Amino acid sequence: MTSHEAWTTVDVAPNILFDRLSDLDHLPEYLPQLTALHRTKATPVEAQGPEARRPHQAVHEEIDVTAAGGRREGWVDVLAEDRILRWSTEGAHDYHGELIVDFVADGTSKLTVRLHTTDPTPVDDELQQALSGIKTAVEQHLPTESDS
């Protein structure tokens, strides 16, 4: 198994960045290689808010993902208090990873992506491209005062 890690800073507050990335319906807008994502089961009760789950309990979502490599089943765990999004998809290369959003300064976050796979193909450039795409998409789509 190989592990890969990349990170970037994003000029968006960590809570806003994580809210955007953990909204699974809009995740394909931030990850261009991801063309579709659909839940395969009803939204779990834990997704109703922090009062519906134990501290640091993940909201587990079963999903179907369509990407450049085809369609796969998988899951996503959203750990809101820790600002971590974990995922795994079925397939030949045991593909799983996580996105982590950390506080850097007021209005700035550190976004880290970790990927673990048995696929020997180098993915470091693709990870940097994904981070760059997220950074650009989120920073350009910030609401302005005139949007209120």
pLDDT in tens, 22-31: 998 888 887 7
Asked whether residue 146 is assigned to any structural domain, the reply reads: no
Query: Tell me: the pLDDT tens digits for 59-68?
Result: 888 899 888 7
Cα dihedral: 16, 59, 113, 103 (round 10): 40
Q: What is the pLDDT of residue 66?
A: 87
The per-residue pLDDT for 142 is: 67
Between these two residues, 123 and 94, which has the higher pLDDT value?
Answer: 123
Q: Say if residue 108's pLDDT is above 90.
A: yes
Flag whether 122 is in a domain. yes
d(CA 116, CA 145): 40
Task: State the Cα–Cα distance between residues 94 and 114, nearest whole angstrom.
Answer: 14
Position 147 in a domain = no
With a pLDDT cut of 70, the percent of the chain lying above it is: 89
Band (5; pLDDT cuts 50, 70, 90): very high
54 vs 37, more confident: 37
Mean per-residue pLDDT, 42-70: 77
What percentage of the chain's residues is helix, strand, coil (to nearest 5)? Answer: 30, 40, 30
Report yes or no on 79 lying in a domain. yes
d(CA 148, CA 145): 6
Domain span including residue 60:
2-141
Number of domains in the chain: 1
Residue 57 carries which side chain, given as an amino acid letter? Q
Is 118 inside a domain boundary? yes
CA pair distance 62, 39, nearest whole angstrom: 6
Amino acid symbol at 98: E
The CATH number for 9's domain is 3.30.530.20
**Contact between 43 and 23 (Cβ < 8 Å):** no
